[in-house]
Chain A
């Protein structure tokens, strides 16, 4: 919306001092968030939920690099998530690597698989790519389920980590995850403004034109898959620790779909959007699992279920609401939550008109 007068202005991270101040305030807020959540029971959240939101936001950012910036589709990100989780745990348990080495290695292994998935993606477009990635996700789950090395059907238990001698609790995990997340978010924001990021956007807009301009499609498409898988792998590694126990059945197609939903609901092509989408959908997911606890509607729903539907499946309301939100956002605001933000900003700025 503002005119940039030099190249440096276009690529800098904080466009004005206002944004810099708000970013610093936000970081301070993140720093004291655990204390706030514990004391004030903010919206009924716990540190576990905040950790889960951050991890899902990491995956959403990774997926957004692939879907929003490069224009591909991936419905198999649960596979990369699982690879990250299992690799981290195995490296720590079997070969005694410390966390800060095992996590990047898991990220790199995951991005190697991303590269492998990117190779058939060079030839596929749109719905065919969606099917291929869907198959990839299910393949990974099947392979992990059947190999004894990964614990077979029972899954693996995440080891207890020690931070300077004391066993880590939720709060320590929170700070570790938040620091990693902030670094990776800054990385993603910077990535978009570099040459690589612009190549991605060019591929999204028109890949034939991009190739004509000299963007090496093979290199950049597979790179996009690899970077996206890297983010997802690291998030998966962290997920193993906050969940405590990973099991191949837990990385279903529903998980891939919910990652995609987070990206689309938040806004394609916007890092802030994917964080917002991840926060909203994770929060809804957690809260709706126990829908009977909502003060007003809860008992009414329980009574309704007992009369007409089964009571055991009441947590499926979460799934229904999820699907409904996905559809409504696409129908009414294709740009997602980020679209709402931009429209509000524009309305505010041009108010008298």
Chain B
């Protein structure tokens, strides 16, 4: 029982950690919390669904086209909305992302209606793998694998490539980065594009595990935030750790204490973490000068 809870917690935590990954990428470069992350992922997933259902595009091509769409969506948002804001405050940036979230949610609700659909996925939900007596469905296993692989790729990208280092420089001090010759505007658009793509992957996996309807991402968004906070908002490996821990803690709580109040765990985790160690488990603590 305990092992089963842990294993399914890991699987669901992998989805949260993908969302958290997308959020942390944006926070690492633009210093803004992207509240629209869930909705961007949801719209991308709906595009994949429409491609597969209405136009009968095979799965691989639908995935690639969806990634293209997600990249364009992320870059569009950054170009049109965030760049126009003159000297925005923290609240202003949050409101802009919230506004974009509402636009996307309204758009998805308008175009596809409130009914629930299900996304076809080549990896099945029902067949399971069996490790040492613990059952894990195929899709859960591959979710964990995909999220770990993505995180590894992005981690290496940030640390060892020129573009990755440029992205980190842009977050630390945008003006200095420009002086050093980094094209900050291009870097920002690129960041949003990548983050949107990761979000699209997360959205498709979450939709494959559950249902696909316009409000499907609201709960995972909060859990994604919790994972990001738990692991550290500026640390990429932290998202995997945070997501896994959140998934496990949530499942253990649900299994042993009370199933109905499972969602509260995310909030309690956030508050505890922010009070005890505000920068998260794996991130360095930056102290700002007054």
Contact = CB atoms under 8 A, between A and B. Distances in A.
Given A128-B274, A310-B111, A331-B81, A317 B106 contact: yes
Contact of A313 (B92, B113, B264, B275): B113
Contacts of B88: 330, 334
Interface stretch (B96-104, B156-164, B239-247): B96-104
B271 A132 contact: yes
A257 B88 CA distance: 18
Interface string B110-127: 111111000000000000
Interface stretch (A41-49, A87-95, A139-147, A340-348): A139-147
A277 B96 CA distance: 16
B103 A323 contact: yes
Interface residues of A, number: 49
A67 B91 CA distance: 9
B107 interface: yes
A313 B105 CA distance: 11
Interface residues of B, number: 51
Interface stretch (A26-34, A118-126, A166-174): A118-126
Contact of A319 (B94, B106, B111, B112): B106
A126 B32 CA distance: 10
A323 B100 contact: yes
B99 A330 contact: yes
A208 B290 contact: yes
A221 B110 CA distance: 41
A326 B274 CA distance: 29
Nearest to A288: B106
A135 B32 CA distance: 18
A253 B94 CA distance: 14
Interface string A249-268: 00001100100110010001
B270 A131 contact: yes
A126 B229 CA distance: 13
B218 interface: yes
Given A131-B229, A312-B114, A123 B91 contact: no
Interface centre among B106, B222, B225, B274 (most CB of A within 10 A): B106
B85 interface: yes
B109 to A, nearest CB: 4
B59 to A, nearest CB: 24
B90 interface: yes
Contacts of B105: 316, 319, 323
B135 to A, nearest CB: 29
A322 to B, nearest CB: 5
B278 interface: yes
A338 interface: no
A127 interface: yes
Contacts of B260: 146
Interface string A311-341: 0111011111111111100110010000000
Nearest to B89: A334
Contact of B225 (A131, A260, A312, A325): A131
Given A138-B267, A139-B267, A327 B81 contact: yes
B227 to A, nearest CB: 11
Interface string B226-264: 100100000000000000000000000000000011011
Residue of B94, B96, B104, B105 with most chain A CB atoms under a 10 A cut-off: B94
Given A128-B229, A139-B267, A326-B95, A146 B113 contact: no
A131 B98 contact: no
A347 B264 CA distance: 51
Given A123-B275, A128-B274, A330 B114 contact: no
Interface string A67-100: 1000001000000000000000000000000000
A323 B110 contact: no
Nearest to A124: B274
Given A131-B270, A146-B260, 17 more contacts: A123-B274, A126-B90, A127-B27, A127-B33, A131-B226, A139-B263, A142-B264, A143-B261, A261-B98, A264-B95, A309-B111, A310-B112, A319-B109, A322-B106, A331-B81, A331-B84, A331-B96
8 A-B pairs with the lowest CB-CB distances in the bound complex, closest first: A323-B102, A319-B106, A135-B267, A326-B99, A320-B106, A310-B113, A316-B109, A323-B103
